[in-house]
Structure 1
Amino acid sequence: MNPFDRRPTYFFGVYHWRERLRRIGASLSLFGAAVVVGRRGGRLRRLLAALVGVTALVRAGTTARRLLSPVPWALDRPKYDALASLLPLGDVDRALDVGCGSGRSLVGLAPHLPSSTHVVGLDVFDDRVILGNGPQLARRNGARAGIDVSPAAGDASRLPFSDDAFDVVTACRVAHDVPETRRDALFDELRRVCAEDGTVGLLELPITPEGVSDHEAYWRRCLGDAGLSVERVATVERPGFSDEPYVAIAATPTA
């Protein structure tokens, strides 16, 4: 193996970094307070302080490990391969990935796209949730995967594109993050910007409104209500959640 022939390296950002750093800070502050109290008390107080301090350190360590979940440079390719297998990507001229974020889904789909495909990645690019999330990162990760990405900032429920603009429109793990009050608008927009002979691809987690147990049926219904006919469906096991798989769906505009 050639030591200089290395796989491209990616960086997809650190998820929920603000919340997790706050939790780490709170745990370390509690540990510091426990140390101070333990030094000034008797045996019982020192014992209780030690218990609190150890608990705080464990919580800080657990949260610190979660900073690397999902791992910022890892892809978990099988779910994107499953979605790609349902889509006619071999001769796509224009593709749109809604909610591309830092480019994880773009990199996941890249091996299945022709090098000539014009790929647009849309996101709000909010780095308050994902550290480093921005158009530059999406473009860089896409380039390392061999595709030329044109990032576009915008709202998934109000896409800034004309009707029938794309041959393939994908939305990977984003629909569940859209508030329920705007979710119908999201699917209507996916349908609107998809060419009449194009395909919409959805990759989703089993996260649905309260009281909905069949997540596959729910996402199929969302697509159907927007005027999209479900053509193919696949499920992909999630590491550590074998009974809660991803669902990948390909749908085409109805007449």
Structure 2
Amino acid sequence: MRLRPTYFFGVYHWRERLSRIALSTLLICAAAAAVRRGRRLVRLAAVAVGLGAAYRGGDAARRLLTPPPWALDCAKYDGLASVLSLDDIDRHLDVGCGSGRSLVGLAPHLPDDCHVVGLDVFDDRVILGNGPQLARRNGARAGVDVSPVRGDASRLPFDDGSFDLVTACRVAHDVPVERRDAAFDELRRVCADGGTVGLLELPITPEGVSDYEAYWRRCLEDAGLRVERVTTVERERRPGQPYVAIAATPR
């Protein structure tokens, strides 16, 4: 029996959540001591504090493993791949690759000899373990030789037209609004004529914008790209708020 590869994609918002768990643990211990030694009213108050701390700590522990560090959720990447033309891709750039979820998710759809570059700021203050080594390791387990590059989505360190395929998976919404236009311009700049830009995004837009599909289409079009194909992928934990996957080509 062939075992499936094991991945580790890091723990999201680990500092905040571990801090909440630690504080809740201290409150529970303090409440337990008060219950043993305090008077009736003090014991009742301590029980209330302890229960509240247990709830908050349990919620933080649950969120610590959301999404699970080993889970991939292939459906969203399959959805993006379904709108892309991937048969003749020689060079692929994944912007905002992080610890490698998108690299692993797209790996089965790429040609075997495709050279893959993963770019990210690799900030482990948000995702525990987020770094070039983890992106490379997860890619290798999926059969992809990844070349990690540290960089900024709004100032890509590559020449014009360097890649046949440029993808940005669940990262554009994290780019500050004031730098978002520059980031989309960079996706267009490094994409070769005849190449494709693939965008996978959440239903997250600036305040006052309700049609997220139209918003992300417009971001691509304003950067000089022509939207070719669009699909949506339902999210298991957020029904009715699907991902949108868009393929666009340089004009």
Q: Which TM bucket (shorter chain)? A: over 0.9
Match of 1:232 in 2: 229
Q: Distance in 1 between matches of 2:60 and 2:108?
A: 34
User: Identity, % of aligned pairs?
Assistant: 75
Residues 49-79 of structure 1 deviation map (CA, whole Å, 9 limit, x = unaligned): 1011011012111211211111111100000
Number of equivalences: 251
Within-5 A mapping of 1:1-255? 2=1, 5-254=2-251
How far does residue 204 in structure 1 lie from its aligned partner after superposition?
0.3
* C-alpha RMSD of matched pairs (Å): 0.9
Q: Distance in 1 between matches of 2:192 and 2:185?
A: 13
Q: Distance in 2 between matches of 1:157 and 1:249?
A: 19
| Amino acid in the other structure paired with 1:181 | E
Q: Distance in 2 between matches of 1:175 and 1:36?
A: 48
Give 3-state SS (helix, strand or coil) of 1:69's partner: coil
> Which deviates more, 190-199 or 61-70?
61-70
TM (norm. structure 2) is 0.98
Q: Distance in 1 between matches of 2:4 and 2:34?
A: 51
> Which deviates more, 22-31 or 147-156?
22-31
How far does residue 102 in structure 1 lie from its aligned partner after superposition?
0.4
Q: Distance in 1 between matches of 2:191 and 2:91?
A: 10
> Which deviates more, 159-168 or 53-62?
53-62
How far does residue 222 in structure 1 lie from its aligned partner after superposition?
0.5
How far does residue 28 in structure 1 lie from its aligned partner after superposition?
1.6
Q: Distance in 2 between matches of 1:186 and 1:32?
A: 48
Moved over 6 A (4+): none
Structure 1: segments with no counterpart, 5+ residues: none
> Which deviates more, 8-17 or 21-30?
21-30
Q: Distance in 2 between matches of 1:252 and 1:85?
A: 15
Q: Distance in 1 between matches of 2:107 and 2:247?
A: 17
